[in-house]
Amino acid sequence: MIRRAAAAVLTVVLMMVCAPVGPAAAADSSAVTVSGRGVFGDLKVTVSQTSNLINQVVTVSWTGGRPTGDIAAYQDYLQIMQCWGNAAGGPTREQCQFGALFTDNRGGLYTGSRRLNYASYCAPADEQAGKCTGLRDPLETAKPLPSNDPVYVPFTPVEGKAVPGPAGGEYFDSATTNEMPYARTGADGRGEEFFEVQTASEAPGLGCGTQLANGTGRACWLVIVPRGESEVDGTTGDAKPHHALDSSPLSATNWANRLVVPMKFQPLGRVCPIGGAEKRAVGAEAMTEAMIRWQPALCASHSDRIFGWTQTTDAQARDRLAGIDPGLVFVNRPAAPDPERTVVYAPVAVSGLAIAVNLDWQSGLGATAEEQLNEGKRVPTLKLTPRLVAKLLSQSYRSGADPKRESVLKNPETISYDPEFRELNPDWAPDDPENAATGAQLPLAIGDALIGVGQTDMATQLWEWVLSDPEAKAFLTGTPDPWGMAVNPVYPTLTWPEDSFPKSDLYCTKLRNDAQKDVDWCTLDMHPYANNMHDAARSAARGDTLVRNATAFDSTGAVIGWKKGNPQPQGKRAVLAVTDVATAQRYGMPLVQLRNASGAFVAPTTASLLAGVAAMKPSTAVGSVLTPNPASTSAGAYPLTSVIYAATAPKEIDEELGPVYAALLRYAAGDGQTPGVKPGTLPYGYAPLPAALRARTRAAATTIEKTAGKPVTAVTPTPTTTGGSSGGGGSTGGSGSGSGSGTATTAPATAPATGTATPPDVPAATPTGMGSAVPVAQADPTPGSPLGNVRYGLVAALAAGLLAALAGPILLRVARTRRGG
């Protein structure tokens, strides 16, 4: 079988983190390697990034470890945690965020806890009489207590009183902690985990990144405690009936083996000079990652370059262009032209929509011995067709819909039972068709994906890509696939393409709560929306499906309803999320390979995003603005590539704003296109703008600077070539369309893309007004040329009241004081 032939290759691939647009460790050069001691002398642990940290994921990899045992003898693993501490040598064990997952005891009875004493501890009288036997830690100075009176290492927060209990009290719990109690080592002595570092916004008890008096962010620590086969008293697992360890990593003997890595954070709070007035900048979520990284550099030497960034929907941003004093807005698509108002468009970033994957290998009955060695490791990617994406996002799998609905009753339970998915991803194809567990991997409990709520042009783009595929369009509009799977009947009645990700099958069932009453458990409990793409990506990276049914029903709180459950345990995660590429990269998420119109499966990389730009076509109404071309047959083009434009109406803004907005655009076309993690750089996940698009942005900056607040005279267009390499970013669509700049250009809407997109050296409704998006250019029947995210989602319950939000966009104010989130 193909799956068996590829097993050796897959074993290697599974050790790799998917870094779609630039490896952070290489460019940042802040990777740190630390070595173990004693029996762990061969262990070397590398942390990929240790400076300029925000709330993000870093890669923790290691060599020289002993292979982790199986479930019956779970030994030889690493325990990873984040801590605060001011001492030069590292934190104390009281300063570490660990122990909230104490119920996960697969590594041993108390290995996931803060507990210091064990079942064989006894009273002092028994100890003096020599009646005590069993597990004892000779390095613990506290006197042993009776076995029924547990002793815990208290958690001492950076500010406030110590918490004496088994976890972190109000500071962290099982739903918020980032601890990793069981990081497995492979047969070759290597291992890799993806650790979420948290700022004071996510972990207030640690205070990491809190701005200090000197303007820097509070530093913290990453602590790795290696575990072997011996216990604190010198006994080995073989001497115990269960063959596993028992003691906590915070027990003194285990703590003495710790490896510590200093972690430097970007400061939270105000990073710009006090006294400067904020300049308005609003717009598309896909621009947020870049804006929060650029702002510190923009205001460092100019107090007038402080931008109050507000994340809005694309539709709201376009609406601002039609109003008084529109400021600077960022959109994925242009507004409908208004002959009474000149709008200048400038390309500022190349991004894309992606489906991010957090999927751990879980061996099925059909896994070979070699494949079983991948247990718990991250699966690097999946392959999906437009039709499979349509199935995921239309509640057509039984686990994503009302399972009693007759029309989906015969559909697969989850995606891994779908023959179409299995053909592309054969590790889930069972050796025995009658037993799904006989595949190399166990069936996935994935029937949908995490999605953000509200309008976004990126949703429109995804649906246009789906509808451009004949098979997917047929399925979405009511034709079953070749295996008999049918779309959820609610969806063919929608108006396609939608500009959001609707959950239209709003059904409820009864679930018994802790008061033994049957309470409605509905779609948005079982399949909740994330607040936005950022929340979808971060939740998926944490293994958090957002499902509200794993704990009690709250009938007394501010929001009545089912409480959210805990994230999936480490090594057993299976979550998909629809997000933008830069946010997926921030949280270390591998990305799905999507099939483009050429038949190639492509993930977003620098090269594929730039090829996607080269495949774009001019907008039908604003010819200098590029719009996606899902019918492009460019084999290397990522089909969900997007160019983000900054736009304003110069005549409608104050004259003094012209130079300020021009400075932002020049920065965006210059230093802002250098990939990196330092303030002022381009976050990984964006592709650097091609040179021709940068030139368009600089020209637009000049136009805005010279014409802000002044009457606009007609500009004679100078025809130029359009396409991915030479333009489309531009500043205008020609004076006739109401868009203009000092370097106005025009081009026929049907002109094919030409030129090349060379990466830099550094790594349809009819428009009704200014607020409406311009329809995408019709697909050219001739094959196209082969040439080619401080945002932190506001944590809010999505209960019954959220249904009203589906009727309109959500405005998310991104405060600059939350840069780390």
Find out whether 378 and 359 touch, Cβ atoms under 8 Å: yes
Task: Note whether residue 7 is domain-resident.
Answer: no
**Paired tokens of 696:** 């368009």
231 with 263, same domain: the answer is yes
Confidence of residue 236 (pLDDT cuts 50, 70, 90): confident
- Average pLDDT across the chain, whole number: 81
- Residues 683-698 have pLDDT tens digits of 999 999 999 999 999 9
649 with 534, same domain: the answer is yes
* Cα 523 to Cα 544: distance, rounded to the nearest angstrom: 17
508 with 389, same domain: the answer is no
Which candidate, 610, 605, 580, places its Cα nearest to that of 690? Answer: 610
379 with 472, same domain: the answer is yes
Task: Note whether residue 505 is domain-resident.
Answer: yes
Above 60 in pLDDT, residue 170?
A: yes
**Paired tokens of 330:** 């960022």
The residue that leads in pLDDT, 508 or 782, is: 508
380 with 321, same domain: the answer is no
H-run or E-run covering 580: strand 574-580
Of 268, 289, 309, the position where a domain reaches its end is 268
Above 50 in pLDDT, residue 302?
A: yes
Task: Note whether residue 564 is domain-resident.
Answer: yes
Alpha-carbon separation of residue 579 from 273, 449, 458, 530 (angstroms): 33, 10, 9, 11
Burial 412-441 (b: 16+ CB within 10 A, else e): bbbbbbbebbbebbbbbbbbeeeebebbbb
- pTM reported for the whole predicted model: 0.83
Confidence of residue 148 (pLDDT cuts 50, 70, 90): low
309 with 368, same domain: the answer is no
Mean pLDDT of 569-584: 96
Task: Note whether residue 160 is domain-resident.
Answer: yes
563 with 627, same domain: the answer is yes
Residue 737 CB: number of other CB atoms within 10 A? 24
pLDDT-wise least confident of 117-121, 461-465, 483-487: 117-121
* Cα 790 to Cα 266: distance, rounded to the nearest angstrom: 11
Q: Structural domain of residue 533, as residue ranges?
A: 271-349+501-575+616-632+643-745+752-821
Confidence of residue 71 (pLDDT cuts 50, 70, 90): low
Tell me what percent of the residues of the chain surpass a pLDDT of 90: 60
Above 70 in pLDDT, residue 742?
A: no
Look at residue 240 in the predicted model and tell me its pLDDT.
Answer: 58
Look at residue 549 in the predicted model and tell me its pLDDT.
Answer: 81
**Paired tokens of 407:** 């029309």
Signed CA dihedral, 749, 753, 758, 759: sign only = positive
Confidence of residue 158 (pLDDT cuts 50, 70, 90): very high
Mean pLDDT of 296-312: 84
Beta bridge partners of 211: 217
Look at residue 1 in the predicted model and tell me its pLDDT.
Answer: 41
Look at residue 239 in the predicted model and tell me its pLDDT.
Answer: 57
199 with 281, same domain: the answer is no
Q: Provide the number of structural domains found in the chain.
A: 3
Q: Residue 194 corresponds to which amino acid?
A: F
Going by their DSSP bridges, the two strands 553-554 and 306-311 should be labelled as: unpaired
Signed CA dihedral, 737, 740, 745, 751: sign only = negative
Above 60 in pLDDT, residue 5?
A: no
Confidence of residue 13 (pLDDT cuts 50, 70, 90): very low
Three-class secondary structure of residue 655 per DSSP: coil
* Cα 392 to Cα 614: distance, rounded to the nearest angstrom: 29
Q: Where are the alpha helices (DSSP H) in 454-509?
A: 457-468, 470-476
664 with 533, same domain: the answer is yes
Confidence of residue 12 (pLDDT cuts 50, 70, 90): very low
Task: Note whether residue 638 is domain-resident.
Answer: no
Look at residue 514 in the predicted model and tell me its pLDDT.
Answer: 77
Above 70 in pLDDT, residue 717?
A: no
Of 247, 268, 289, the position where a domain reaches its end is 268
Work out the burial of residue 260: count CB atoms within 10 Å of its CB; fewer than 13 is exposed, 13-18 middle, 19 or more buried: middle
What's the gap between Cα 635 and its chain centre? 26
Confidence of residue 238 (pLDDT cuts 50, 70, 90): low
- Residues 326-335 have pLDDT tens digits of 999 999 999 9
Task: Note whether residue 587 is domain-resident.
Answer: no
Look at residue 86 in the predicted model and tell me its pLDDT.
Answer: 95
Which candidate, 262, 227, 199, 212, places its Cα nearest to that of 30? Answer: 262
485 with 622, same domain: the answer is no
DSSP 8-class letter at 217: B
Residue ranges with strand state E in 439-529? 508-512, 518-522
Above 80 in pLDDT, residue 796?
A: no
130 with 197, same domain: the answer is yes
- Residues 358-375 have pLDDT tens digits of 999 999 999 999 998 888
Half-sphere exposure in the Cβ direction for 136 (13 Å, CA): 14
Find out whether 250 and 156 touch, Cβ atoms under 8 Å: no
The residue that leads in pLDDT, 587 or 738, is: 587
* Cα 13 to Cα 126: distance, rounded to the nearest angstrom: 55
* Cα 392 to Cα 418: distance, rounded to the nearest angstrom: 11
Mean pLDDT of 529-534: 96
Task: Note whether residue 276 is domain-resident.
Answer: yes
Of 241, 268, 295, the position where a domain reaches its end is 268
Alpha-carbon separation of residue 163 from 110, 149, 160 (angstroms): 18, 17, 9
* Cα 429 to Cα 449: distance, rounded to the nearest angstrom: 21
Above 60 in pLDDT, residue 736?
A: no
- Residues 469-494 have pLDDT tens digits of 999 999 999 999 999 999 999 999 99
396 with 531, same domain: the answer is no
Task: Note whether residue 125 is domain-resident.
Answer: yes
Look at residue 151 in the predicted model and tell me its pLDDT.
Answer: 83
- Residues 250-291 have pLDDT tens digits of 999 999 999 999 999 999 976 776 656 788 899 999 999 999
